[in-house]
Structure 1
Amino acid sequence: MPSKLNWLLQNTEPGSLVLQSWLTKNGISPSLANKYMHSHWLQKLRAGVYARSGRDPQWRDAVLCLQNQLGISVHLAGLTSLTYQGRSHYLHLTHQSICLCVEDKVSLPKWFKEFPNVEWFLISNQKLNMNNPKYLTEIEIKGERLKASVPELAAYEIVNAVPSSLSFEHAAELFQGLVNLSPRKVEGLLQSSRAVKTNRLYLFLGDHYAHPWAKRIDKSSIDLGTGKRQIVSGGTLDQTYQITVPEHLVNKGSLHG
């Protein structure tokens, strides 16, 4: 087998997305890629974008392509991260909605934005002054390893999405199961955050469910700002964190009755 084809087969899997820019960097010209397409090693998806033959590419192949071929810093975030780490029972089985954290202001390619059968929910964590590898992990999805936020960061990404793209009730229900977070990781995360409302809501939900980690956090080192903040329109003011929340949560009522 010719060495360049051998290289391609060793460095991709069936279903992998393959960009011509990456092939060119590795010595496979457009004409050679075209030859591999006619020999059914590659399948052309659009100009400059191929898939390795053998299975249909999935959303995870698109994420790995961003990461490995374009060098874009990206990880599974929020609800998606918790779901694939077995921390959530909310798994969208029909229409995939995938939450990704990408570097702020990174321009994503058109083929990625238009990838079929998936709805990308993109966040940037721009108010976190933190680039610590301990807040990322690797998870395996159908044999492929993807970067993902650890549960402490995923929880932050969830409360940061309230109420713009996630309801308070949904976030609260997810938080109820987050019993075993690391207080050290939570504290370090919130210390690095400039998002006052997010910080307050994270601590409020930890306190509300009386999670053990919440009692071990030094709140004096966390930016909680001053004054009242509205999170829920028409909600009730929680006196401790000065945020508006659903009334039944202030009254310590259970979400499940």
Structure 2
Amino acid sequence: MNTEKGSKINQLLQSQPKGIVFLASWLSKKGYSLDLQKRYRKSNWLLSIGTGAMIRTGDEVNYEGALHSLQQQGDSSIHPGGKTALSLLGKSHYLEFSTKRITLFGGKEENLPVWFKNYDWGTEFNHYQSGFLPKDIGLTQIERKSFPLKISNSARALMECLYLVPKYQDLRECYELMEGLNNLRPKEVQKLLEACASVKVKRLFLFLADKAEHAWLKHIDLDQIDLGKGKRSIITGGAYIPKYQITVNKDLGLNDE
């Protein structure tokens, strides 16, 4: 490899944090042709981890580094959400999270790349595609060792949990998580509830916040939130909550009828 090409790869590696993936499409946009990328792999600067994705040779990359690259290089909205986000935020320490299963949320038609799905990250993933919340609100940024990562904030993460009720998520567990969210920002919650397209999620969120007696709930303007019409049966044979017109787990419905 000549000096010019060596200098170019050095510039690339020095400009990007360690522990991430390099997307071939992003490199091409940056002026690194597919032919040049091939030479970098042949010269052992970069190592392919699947079609369209490479890492520094010898670098240790986990799923977070891969998601960082999807977000920053691929303009993807796929992010850790639900219980995974709450765990990363330190909000679910009393729930079992040694789980080797990570919850990801993304847009309705947004797929994980084949290279991501086929690579062994040492964990399993549940990826949910949905448009019940806009992709650009309710996110926060956490810092990993050498790069930032966008994840759901606490309010959005709990709404994502409620979106999975009852098929993939237990409502009782959602209540336990809600109990720990006593310092949510009303303006952020208001924004999410107004933008949320799921009547089920909105009613359950408000019901659980009400049951947990959170002080921030009194600052929410319910008149600005579309809660739909008619009853919603979340749990078959459960307890009916007239205030929110939902049927929930019997134990959750106690003292609320």
| TM-score bucket of the superposed structures, by smaller chain | 0.7 to 0.9
Task: State the 4+ residue runs in structure 1 displaced beyond 6 angstroms.
Answer: none
SS of 2:127's equivalent in the other structure is strand
Asked if the contact 2:110–2:129 (Cα under 8 Å) also holds between the matched residues in 1, the reply is no
Once the two structures are superposed, the pairs formed by residues 86-125 of structure 1 within 5 Å of their partners are 86-89=90-93, 90=95, 92-93=97-98, 95=100, 97-116=101-120, 117-125=122-130
Residue 59 of structure 1: aligned partner = 63
Between 59-68 and 32-41, the greater mean CA deviation after superposition: 32-41
Q: Deviations over 1:49-75 (max 9, x none)?
A: 221123332101221221122222233
- Cα gap change, 1:94 to 1:87, in 2 (>3 Å): closer
SS of 1:121's equivalent in the other structure is strand
- Which of 187, 190, 208 aligns to 2:193? It is 190
For these two proteins, the number of residue pairs brought into alignment is: 250
Supply the AA of the counterpart residue of 1:189. Answer: L
Once the two structures are superposed, the pairs formed by residues 14-29 of structure 1 within 5 Å of their partners are 14-29=18-33
Between 84-93 and 143-152, the greater mean CA deviation after superposition: 84-93
Between 32-41 and 52-61, the greater mean CA deviation after superposition: 32-41
Supply the AA of the counterpart residue of 1:161. Answer: L
Asked if the contact 1:13–1:52 (Cα under 8 Å) also holds between the matched residues in 2, the reply is no
Residue 48 of structure 1: aligned partner = 52
Asked if the contact 2:102–2:125 (Cα under 8 Å) also holds between the matched residues in 1, the reply is yes
Q: Is 2:36 aligned against 1:32?
A: yes
- Which of 157, 161, 169 aligns to 1:158? It is 161
Cα shift at 1:132: 5.3
Once the two structures are superposed, the pairs formed by residues 75-86 of structure 1 within 5 Å of their partners are 75-86=79-90
Q: Deviations over 1:166-210 (max 9, x none)?
A: 111111111111111112221222122231111110011001111
Residue 246 of structure 2: aligned partner = 243
- Percent identity between the aligned chains? 38
TM-score w.r.t. structure 2 length? Answer: 0.87
Residue 236 of structure 2: aligned partner = 233
Residue 12 of structure 1: aligned partner = 16
Structure 2 stretches lacking a partner, 5+ long: none
Q: Deviations over 1:140-163 (max 9, x none)?
A: 133321112221222211211111
Asked if the contact 2:22–2:55 (Cα under 8 Å) also holds between the matched residues in 1, the reply is yes
Cα shift at 1:230: 1.1
Q: CA RMSD in A?
A: 2.3
SS of 1:159's equivalent in the other structure is helix
SS of 2:233's equivalent in the other structure is coil
TM-score w.r.t. structure 1 length? Answer: 0.87
2: CA distance between counterparts of 1:131 and 1:24?
26
SS of 1:146's equivalent in the other structure is strand
Asked if the contact 2:50–2:119 (Cα under 8 Å) also holds between the matched residues in 1, the reply is no
